[in-house]
Amino acid sequence: MGTGFVVSSDGLIATNFHVIEEGRAFTVETSAGIALPIVAVHASDAANDLAIIRVDTKGAPLPALELADGDAEQGMRVLAFGNPLGLQNSVVEGILSAKQMVKGRELLQLAMPVERGNSGGPLVDLQGRVHGIVNMKSAIDDNLGFAIPIRRLLPLMESPNPVLIERWVRVGKINRERWQILFGADWQERAGRITANGTGTGFGGRSLLLWQAEAPEIPFEIA
């Protein structure tokens, strides 16, 4: 479970890329428990861990949050909304304690507890303006988290790269008509390369992927 927030009343919802990931089926539900049909992944940026989803609002405008114009200030009080550890519609208050470079990216350092399920949620000031998108917790302190500055989302809103949801959920998927998976594991095919994610149920965590094409008539060569 992750979190998202409305950035445009016509059905655009921002979240983290790792919340939806390529090839993953997911659903969108409002805080009131209403399921919204997903039309497309409107824009995505894996490097910055950002994504924008387009949903069908069924003609009813969604309440969008205001995005902050300027940079967030160190020491400002902020609120984070989300579903930490599956606890829905939770809010936590903290301080924007610093700005840090993490793996080459500038992130907002938050003096507040951040858990799984907060990912993709809005980081807002006391006026309700969004300054960042929560994306991870600290590995060394339970009361420390990080958020992506909201300005990183603006290029995606201005220059989207939409992918229909029917195609999104198939990205990287193995063609089961051509391949047979034995002993589990999650096999993916990208850019001509086939890889296994995780371990299988075979001895030592092994998994097999077998090509199901019929062998050619003899004689033939194996490259």
The predicted-structure confidence for 113-163, as pLDDT tens digits, reads as follows 888 888 999 999 999 999 999 998 877 777 889 999 999 999 999 999 999
Q: Which of 18, 90, 138, 186 is catalytic?
A: 18
Asked which of 74-78, 128-132, 183-187 is least confident by mean pLDDT, the reply is 183-187
Dmax over CA atoms of the chain, in Å, equals: 76
Q: In this structure, is residue 222 part of a structural domain?
A: no
Q: In this structure, is residue 18 part of a structural domain?
A: yes
Whether 79 and 128 map to the same domain: the answer is: yes
Write down the pLDDT at residue 192: 57
Whether 79 and 41 map to the same domain: the answer is: no
Helix locations, 61-171, DSSP H? 154-158, 165-168
Q: In this structure, is residue 223 part of a structural domain?
A: no
Write down the pLDDT at residue 147: 95
For the question of residue 131 being annotated catalytic, the response is no
Whether 120 and 184 map to the same domain: the answer is: no
Write down the pLDDT at residue 175: 66
| E strand spans, the chain | 5-8, 12-15, 28-29, 35-36, 38-45, 50-55, 66-67, 77-82, 90-102, 105-111, 122-124, 129-137, 145-149, 163-164, 179-182, 186-190, 193-197, 208-211
Write down the pLDDT at residue 221: 65
* Structural domains of the chain, count: 3
> pLDDT band at residue 40, thresholds of 50, 70 and 90?
very high
For the question of residue 119 being annotated catalytic, the response is yes
* pLDDT surpasses 90 at 102: no
Whether 117 and 147 map to the same domain: the answer is: yes
Higher pLDDT, 68 or 140: 68
Residue from 6, 126, 135 nearest 62 by CA: 6
Q: Which of 42, 44, 49, 131 is catalytic?
A: 49
> pLDDT band at residue 37, thresholds of 50, 70 and 90?
very high
Write down the pLDDT at residue 209: 78
Write down the pLDDT at residue 182: 80
Q: In this structure, is residue 219 part of a structural domain?
A: no
Whether 49 and 71 map to the same domain: the answer is: no
Q: What share of the chain is helix, strand, coil (3-state, %, to 5)?
A: 10, 40, 50
CB atoms within 10 A of CB 174: 16
Whether 52 and 162 map to the same domain: the answer is: yes
**Coil, helix or strand at residue 153:** helix
Whether 46 and 75 map to the same domain: the answer is: no
Whether 74 and 146 map to the same domain: the answer is: yes
Whether 47 and 95 map to the same domain: the answer is: no
Whether 147 and 206 map to the same domain: the answer is: no
Whether 18 and 31 map to the same domain: the answer is: yes
Whether 182 and 73 map to the same domain: the answer is: no
Distances (CA, A) of 204 to 168, 183, 210: 32, 11, 18
Q: What is the pTM of this model?
A: 0.76
Give the range of the structural domain holding residue 58, as residue numbers without chain letter.
Answer: 5-63+157-167
